[in-house]
Amino acid sequence: MTRVIKKSKDFIKLRNGKLFSDKSVGFIPTMGALHQGHIALIKKSLKQNDITVVSIYVNPTQFNNPDDFKKYPDTFNQDLQILKKLKVDYLLHPNYSEIYPDNYNYRIIETDFSKKLCGKFRPGHFEGVLTVVMKLLNIVKPSRAYFGEKDYQQLQLVRGMAKAFFLDTKIISHPTIRTKEGLALSSRNLRLNKEQLKVAPEFNRLLKSRLPINEIKSQLKKLGFKVEYIEKINNRIFGAVYLGNIRLIDNVKI
């Protein structure tokens, strides 16, 4: 039975009690609208840990576009049924005042990688991400925390933060889960219409194509995408595009 906990102090009290004593804890932070990507992370945690905790919290501080925050899918009841079926032990479901009793006066800031790629186009986004992840990790104190590779920049920043602040939590990654057509699973996909869903997998196909970046951009534009960026960094190519007003990100190892 999945137990829902809404208050930080209640979870901390539970965490410090006998139930968690000498047990490994796996943690998956989410914003809900759970899909097979989240489920893959949860299943990995269930295999590797004695206790698995999932959080659902739509974090306003990482949305540089307030309209995007308002339109974020709310599927809480469906998500809870998924967690119960998977036999997740705890769902942490806080509100804003539980996460930000300081009203976001204190923040985690990274000064290099977070200013590139998505950070260049979404000012304040990664400050919000790193701050909320740090808060959740301090509440849960997990042995392991799980993140997908779809948002590879986020993964690298969280890893860097854990190392920089000497956190005991091990950051575990999982390969991007995709549709059979190649589209990276994302909660934002719920907002794509039928025509957009047919075109969206072309984003990944072109990132994998090994074409010159200018040619990738050109072909994406011909298909109706608005290109925010396509960049190669080390052995990976990263991209962010819009289909209509829906922003999609992806990355491919090369």
CATH number at residue 57: 3.40.50.620
Give the pLDDT score at 245: 93
233: domain range? 187-253
The domain boundary residue, chosen from 151, 174, 197: 174
Reported as a single tens digit per residue, the pLDDT across 79-119 is: 999 999 999 999 999 999 999 999 999 999 999 999 999 99
Reported as a single tens digit per residue, the pLDDT across 24-55 is: 999 999 999 999 999 999 999 999 999 999 99
Q: Is residue 93 part of a domain?
A: yes
Q: Is residue 180 part of a domain?
A: no
Q: Is residue 153 part of a domain?
A: yes
Residue type at 208 in one-letter notation: K
| Whether residue 249 sits in one domain with residue 214 | yes
Q: Is residue 181 part of a domain?
A: no
Catalytic residues: 38
CA 101 to chain CA centroid, Å, is 23
Share of the chain above pLDDT 90, in %: 96
| Whether residue 156 sits in one domain with residue 132 | yes
- Give, for 221, the enclosing helix (H) or strand (E): helix 213-222
pLDDT higher than 90, residue 66: no
Q: In what order do the strands lie in the sheet with 226-233?
A: 226-233, 236-243, 246-253
Rounded Cα distance, 119 and 123, in Å: 6
Rounded Cα distance, 133 and 126, in Å: 10
Q: Is residue 81 part of a domain?
A: yes
Reported as a single tens digit per residue, the pLDDT across 67-84 is: 889 989 999 999 999 999
- Report whether 23 contacts 50 (CB < 8 A): yes
| Whether residue 128 sits in one domain with residue 67 | yes
For residue 252, which of 210, 193, 189 has the smallest C-alpha distance? 210
Rounded Cα distance, 141 and 224, in Å: 44
Overall domain count for the chain: 2
CATH number at residue 207: 3.30.1300.10
Give the pLDDT score at 57: 98
Query: Per-residue pLDDT averaged across 190-212, rounded?
Result: 96
| Whether residue 124 sits in one domain with residue 30 | yes
**pTM for this prediction:** 0.96
Q: Is residue 227 part of a domain?
A: yes
Give the pLDDT score at 67: 87
For residue 52, give both structure tokens. Answer: 């698995």
